[in-house]
Structures are given as C-alpha cells and as structure tokens.
Amino acid sequence: MRIGINTFLFTSPFTTRSTKLFPKFKDWGFDTVEIPIESPAHIDPHKVKRELDKSGLVCGTACACMGPDRDLRGNTRQQQTALKYMTAVIDQMVALDCPSLIGPVYSAVGRADAVPAPEYKQQWRTVVKHLKTLCAYAGDKGKKVCLEPLNRFETDFINTCDQALNMVADVGSPHLLLHLDTFHMNIEEKNQAAAIRKAGKLLGHFHACGSDRGTPGNDHIQWVPIAAALKEIGYDKDVVIESFTSDVKVIARAAAIWRRIEPTRDEIAVKGLKFLRSVL
C-alpha cells in the first residue's frame, strides 16, 4: 500500500513549474503524488514525468476537477465539455504513466439541487451513457476511472458507497471502480469500515482526510476500524492525503475552509503521513 499526497494542499492550479514541490514530498517519505489537472493546458506531462522520475516519485492518480462547465448530467454543452476534458486528462495520464483518473467524474462539484425523482432518473441514465463512453476510452488507453461519492453539500447525485456501487453496476465496465474519501464518508456513511468492506474489490482509490479537512489522525474519525477494513478486503493501492488549508485561496473558498485548521500545511503532510504509516 502506497501513501500519496494531493498537491491541492500546496498549490492551485498545478502547473509544470509546480514540480519543484516533488523533492520535498520525497524527503518527507511519500511514495506517490496525486495531481489535480485543472486544465490540460497547465502542464507538459512529459516534463512532469521527468521531474517525478528525478525525485523517485510516481503520479499514482490524476484528480478530475469538475467545475460548473464540466457536468455529465448538465446541459448538452456541459456534458460534451466534461467528456472532452476528461479524455484529454486520460491522454496526459499515458505520458505521466498514471493508472487512474479519480474524483466526482459524474457532475460539477457544488451542484446540489432537490430535483424530482423522474428528473433524477433521467440524469442517472445520461451519466451512465457518458461513463460507458469515458470508461471505454480509458480502457483503450490502459487506464481506470475511480468514481467518488461526495457529501450532500457538494452534490445531490452520489453521496454514498451504495449509490456509487449502483452506478458502477449500471455502467458495467471493468474500467470503472470506486473512490472513497474519509471526509465525505464521515458525513454520509453510518459506518466507514462497513462501507469499505461493501466496496470490496471494486475499491480502486482511497482518500485519507481528517474529519475537519485537516490532518488524518488529529480528528475524531475511527481510523483503526478503517485500516482493518482496508486490510480485510486486500486493498493494496494508494492511500492519499487530500487536505486543504486557507493558504491556497481558490481551494479554500471552494472547500469552505474559513479558518486555519492546523498550524501549517507542512504539518498536515508530515504528521498525516506518520500517522497513516503507523495505523496502516
């Protein structure tokens, strides 16, 4: 099991110049880097890959950044923009030697509407259709797509492991897996360990984040049962710290970080890594 760090903790957007962060990540002891690709124009994937190699790191995952104009259940333009964006990211993942596209690949983050049941069902069918297309493309490139449930304040569409499993079943692609996140599960799941066991072999990615978006372990989440459940299902992929601070203003605003949760973001990374090594 590899431990990684999401670069949103330190910068937004991630650009080719942001690779200067890599030596620090390596010195701290991280195995992988998770890169949110806000726009494919922001990076030269070949240069990023060279810097990863120099630092002895790998890009374990690329994070889909689903803004208002990228929405597989939106209007026709938003649907096509989302597909074009995610296929372009998958193309860059080939150069990065990155195996998985992760995140809320189904809808714009922050879209939380109380729609009538018939409309929801139609949105569901639309997302299924587009994810079939996206996953076929990913499979052709040797990549996986990992779908992340978000909490109720960030989406009304897929909040729980059960809903995500239903989507995976309806899409029916071997290239579509689940991505679970302790922050979102802390809000939406009755029992995080039970959700992990339910995901089982379909769990393709895991985010470790404190209950307050801070340091894993410096919070009220029950980490020992979570670690036991990951071991029970034989999870051997990446566990990535995805925490946010008020230092990166655009992400702080998007994630509703209105105060300093931890003394420094370096502490979130270093102490979080130490804790995850001990518990996992």
Mean pLDDT in residue range 191-197: 98
Q: Is it the case that residue 168 has pLDDT exceeding 90? A: yes
- pTM exceeds cut of 0.85: yes
Mean pLDDT in residue range 162-191: 98
Cα–Cα distances (Å) from 104 to 23, 43, 45, 124, 148, in that order, read 29, 21, 22, 14, 5
Residues written for the chain: 280
Q: Is it the case that residue 266 has pLDDT exceeding 70? A: yes
How does pLDDT run across 13-51, given as a tens digit for each residue? 999 999 999 999 999 999 999 999 999 999 999 999 999
CATH number of 2-279: 3.20.20.150
Q: What is the full DSSP assignment across 16-33?
A: GGGGGGHHHHHHHT--EE
Q: 């002895």: which residue's tokens? A: 56
Question: Domain spans of the chain?
Answer: 2-279
Q: Is the link from the previous residue into 36 a cis peptide, with omega within 30 of 0? A: no
Among candidate residues 140, 153, 150, the one with its CA nearest the CA of residue 103: 150
Q: Given this model, what pLDDT does residue 219 score?
A: 96
How does pLDDT run across 119-158, given as a tens digit for each residue? 999 999 999 999 999 999 999 999 999 999 999 999 999 9
Q: Given this model, what pLDDT does residue 252 score?
A: 64
